[in-house]
Amino acid sequence: MQSDFLWHPDPLGVAIGTLLAVFSLGAGSYIYTSLALMTIAKKLSHPRPWLAWIPFANTALILQMGGFHWAWVFLFLVPFAGWAVLIALSTISMWRVFEKRNYPGALALFQLGGFIPYISLLLTLTFLILLGFVAWKDRTAELGQPSSTSNKSKPKTKKDRLNFLKKRLAKWYPASIPAPAPGAPSRPIAASRRQKNQKKRK
């Protein structure tokens, strides 16, 4: 009689539920990773950041951001040896990407955690969290200089550089002080100090 009140799970229902859970986690992880890679590609001024959403093309994107040619992605067609080389190149590329974003490159080694038994899930989650920091948390360099990837005002064309120099000259030499002639010292105060030092030496 007691066995009639016990719940007996349906094996088919358990299998379907497990598959749905795994699919949901995989889809969420893929969307998160693609969005993070696209954000990093934009901040590194990559011309095609949307490649982060395409399978295999996202690996080529990582290789390009790391300084390698995108064609190395075809090593995926070579079993075992090609896979090992591709994993090594993608890890080196991610190391360089982390450094370009002013993060320690060694943190990219967490992406290899999926190959370590027992703690693979923990290391993979750690890498996803780190990837989010690299994508959305701009970090300044060690010397206090602003991040090169976040400096969007850097002049790129010749016209932009000329306008940039004009603005700098306008700050250094207001309208009441004439700008120096070509070939003259950029700082009149510095030139006068040099003359005083020369007189003292004489």
Q: Are residues 95 and 185 in the same domain?
A: no
Q: Is residue 90 part of a domain?
A: yes
Q: Alpha-carbon torsion 83, 89, 90, 92, what sign?
A: positive
149 found inside a domain: no
**Residue 177 lies in domain:** 158-201
Give domain status of residue 2, yes or no. Answer: no
- For residue 148, is it within any domain? no
Do 186 and 97 reside in the same domain of the chain? Answer: no
- The total number of structural domains that make up the chain: 2
Q: Does residue 131 share a domain with residue 37?
A: yes
Q: Are residues 27 and 125 in the same domain?
A: yes
Please indicate, yes or no, whether residues 91 and 167 belong to a single structural domain of this protein: no
pLDDT attached to residue 18: 87
For residue 145, being part of any structural domain is answered with: no
pLDDT computed for residue 191 by the predictor: 55
HEC assignment per residue over the chain: CHHHHCCCCCHHHHHHHHHHHHHHHHHHHHHHHHHHHHHHHHHCCCCCHHHHHCCCHHHHHHHHHCCCCHHHHHHHHCCCHHHHHHHHHHHHHHHHHHHHCCCCHHHHHHHHHHHCCCCHHHHHHHHHHHHHHHHHCCCCCCCCCCCCCCCCCCCCCHHHHHHHHHHHHHHHCCCCCCCCCCCCCCCHHHHHHHHHHHHHHC
Same domain assignment for residues 89 and 121: yes
Residues 114 and 69 in one domain: yes
What string of pLDDT tens digits covers the 202 residues of the chain?
A: 455 556 677 788 788 888 998 899 999 999 999 999 999 999 999 999 999 999 999 999 999 999 999 999 999 999 999 999 999 999 999 999 999 999 999 999 999 998 998 899 999 999 999 999 999 999 886 544 444 444 445 555 767 777 777 776 666 655 555 555 555 555 555 555 666 666 666 5
Same domain as 33, residue 117? yes
- For residue 19, being part of any structural domain is answered with yes
**Same structural domain for residues 99 and 36?**
yes
| One domain, residues 74 and 167 | no
Is 104 domain-assigned? yes
Question: What pLDDT is attached to residue 167?
Answer: 73
Among 106, 136, 166, the domain-final residue is 136
Distances (CA, A) of 189 to 167, 169, 182: 20, 15, 17
Domain co-membership, 177 together with 81: no
Q: Is the domain of 129 the same as that of 176?
A: no
In a domain, 146, yes or no: no
